[in-house]
Structure 1
Amino acid sequence: MEILPFKYYRLYITKNANGNNGYFSMNTFSMYEANESTTDLCIGATATASSEINSTNNAPKAIDNNASTYWETASTSGDKWFKVELPTARKVRKLIITATTYQGEMPSAFIFQGSNDNVNWVNLKTVNKGTFSSPTSYTELLSTVVGGKSVLDSGDPSLKVILFNWQTMQYIIHTTPNASGDWFIYLNDTSDVLITHIGPAGYQPISDGPVTPMVY
């Protein structure tokens, strides 16, 4: 399935690095539209949370681009959420979370979700790192990439490249190669794919597979 743009993103957090659901905290929470991007989508966004320990260490402190501030929840046991509202809907392919000095409170198990109405949420990725000691930061990638070159025996680029799930043969997505025949597609699935190259009338389609997407 193609990565879709959302206006709201949420961490639904169930465990911290200590293995419980008491306190949670983050020094910084960052989201990026491309895996290689350095532009944090959270800068200028709005952050809220289901729990804040006080008015100083509140949700906006996790996205204020200030390493000396942080968000921390109250100690009440139970699942909690941290939400970011972007100015406009954007695609997210990478998350970076950094720990506070209370390293055991760092989110360790959570569901990353997206929404465009702040009511209906789509699960984008489930993370469960278990318990770990002295965490500082970690990066989660939401997408894989498939790409290559698609040209006809005439040397011209093919008209279209179509991807199907290798096991179910279900259509996933298609794209048009550039003038040199180069193409790539971001996916949020690691399942093997069948790649079919379509030429103009008179050319027989050629298929390649199974191809395993790469984390990019």
Structure 2
Amino acid sequence: MTTKRAIFFILIFVLSYSQNSYGFSKKDKDKKEKPRREKKLKEFKPSVDENTKITDYNFHQKIYLLKAPIELVWKKYSSMVPNQTWKGPLAKYKQSYSKENNIFHYRSKGENNPNLELESIYFLKLKIFKFLKIGVTFQVTKIDSTNKFIELTYGQDNASHGRQRIYFLEDENNTIILHISNFKSNNKFRDNHLYPKFHEKYIDEFHKNIKQNLILN
């Protein structure tokens, strides 16, 4: 693949992974951008719901194993703290919005961010290369303690629509974690070749961070 061709495909990935109308960049650090960012989070709309035919979406799956009882693992995941879970270097939590309490939380303020909360909306920055980062948002749409799964849904403003589900299965005194992602954008090359590769790096880091937190505590 030539250099020009590689750059072209990377640009396709960036444009299709990040949000169409949510232009997070260095200038967002400026205070003038704060009201616009908060407005976007407050007006967040999920890209899929219970009526969506999810079988029409692309599929990615990865299995993880934790050598810990399921109740302990479930407690850790269902009460995860965003600034500890998405702490980088690939995926970094920046801010969130609690619909229930109508409150914004920010990583930069050094505050104690609340545990994972149903219907809360999160903004992360994903590192593609050293000097290239993109912003994504999602909502926690399910925390099912009976069936042991968590659902995260992408927003309508994202070029990539869909959801992620994290299932927890008991295996004697261990826990099997099944991370399933359904996704779709308007670019087939990106969906078939770029999304799976980058997405797997981000979820590997996500589960690694929680595992480390579980061991330390």
Q: Above 0.5 in TM-score?
A: no
TM-score scaled to structure 1, two decimals? 0.31
Higher relative helix content: 2
Higher relative strand content: 1
